[in-house]
Chain A
Amino acid sequence: MSIKVENLTKFYDDLAAVDDISFEVKEGEIVGFLGPNGAGKTTTMKMLTSYLPPSSGKVYINDIDVLKDSISARKHIGYLPETNPLYQDMNVIDYLVYVARLNSVPKEKIKDSVKKMVKTCGLEEVKGKNIGELSKGYKQRVGLAQAMLHNPDIILLDEPTSGLDPNQIIEIRKLIKELGKQKTLMLSTHILQEVQATCDRVLIINNGKIVADGKPDELQRQFEGQMSVKIGIKRDPKYNSEKIIREISSINNVQNTKLISEDGNMWFVDVTASKGTDVREEIFRKIVSLNAVLLEMHKEETSLEDIFRKLTKN
Chain B
Amino acid sequence: MNNILSIYRKELRSYLYSPIPYILIIVFMIITGWFFTTNLFLNEVVSLRGVLDVIPFILLFYIPAISMRTFSEEKKSGTIELLMTKPITEYDVVIGKFLSTITLAAFTFLPTVVYVISLTFLGKLDFGPVISSYLGLLLLAGLYISVGIFSSSLTENQVIAFIISFLIVFALFMINKVLVFVPSGMVSTMEYISSDSHFSNIVRGVIDSRDIVYYLSGIIIMIILTKTSLESRKW
Contacts and interface: CB of A to CB of B under 8 A. Distances in A.
A49 B82 CA distance: 10
B87 A87 contact: no
Contacts of B14: 87, 89-90
Contacts of B79: 85-87
B234 A71 contact: no
Contact of B77 (A79, A88, A99): A88
16 contacts: A46-B81, A49-B85, A52-B233, A71-B89, A74-B86, A81-B81, A81-B85, A83-B81, A85-B82, A87-B77, A89-B17, A101-B3, A101-B6, A102-B3, A102-B7, A102-B86
Most buried by B among A74, A89, A102, A146: A102
A85 B87 contact: no
A101 B82 CA distance: 13
A91 to B, nearest CB: 10
Contacts of A99: 86
B128 interface: no
Interface in B89-117: 89
Nearest to A101: B6
Nearest to A98: B10
Contacts of A103: 86-87
Interface in B191-222: none
A89 B88 contact: no
Interface string B22-42: 000000000000000000000
B87 A79 contact: no
A75 B88 CA distance: 9
Interface of A: 46, 49-53, 71-72, 74-75, 77, 79, 81, 83, 85-90, 94, 98-99, 101-104, 146
Contacts of A77: 85
Q: Chain B, interface size: which category?
A: 20 to 34
A104 B87 contact: yes
A160 to B, nearest CB: 15
B85 A79 contact: yes
Contacts of A49: 85
Most buried by A among B14, B87, B88: B87
Interface of B: 2-3, 6-7, 10, 13-14, 17-18, 77-89, 233-234
B18 A85 contact: no
B84 A51 contact: yes
Most buried by B among A51, A75, A98: A51
Give the secondary structure class of B's interface.
helix
A98 B6 contact: yes
A179 to B, nearest CB: 18
A74 B77 contact: no
Given A81-B78, A90-B14, A102 B6 contact: yes
Most buried by A among B79, B86, B234: B86
Nearest to B82: A85
Most buried by B among A49, A74, A85: A85
Given A87-B14, A89-B17, A90-B14, A102 B78 contact: no
A72 B82 contact: no
The 7 nearest A-B residue pairs measured at CB: A85-B78, A101-B6, A74-B87, A49-B85, A85-B79, A102-B86, A75-B87
A53 B18 contact: no
Contacts of B82: 81, 85-86, 146
A74 B88 CA distance: 9
Nearest to B18: A89
Most buried by A among B13, B18, B82: B82
Contacts of B84: 51
Contacts of A86: 77, 79, 82
A8 to B, nearest CB: 15
Contacts of A74: 85-87
Contacts of B17: 89
Nearest to B81: A81
A221 B35 CA distance: 83
A103 B79 CA distance: 15
A156 B114 CA distance: 54
A102 B234 CA distance: 22
Contacts of A146: 82
B89 A85 contact: no
Given A85-B77, A85-B78, A89-B14, A72 B87 contact: yes
Nearest to B234: A53
A71 B87 contact: yes
Nearest to B74: A85
Given A86-B77, A98-B10, 20 more contacts: A49-B85, A51-B84, A51-B233, A52-B234, A53-B234, A71-B87, A74-B86, A81-B82, A81-B85, A85-B78, A85-B79, A85-B82, A87-B14, A87-B77, A89-B17, A101-B3, A102-B3, A102-B87, A103-B86, A146-B82
A49 B83 CA distance: 11
Contacts of B7: 102
Nearest to B3: A102
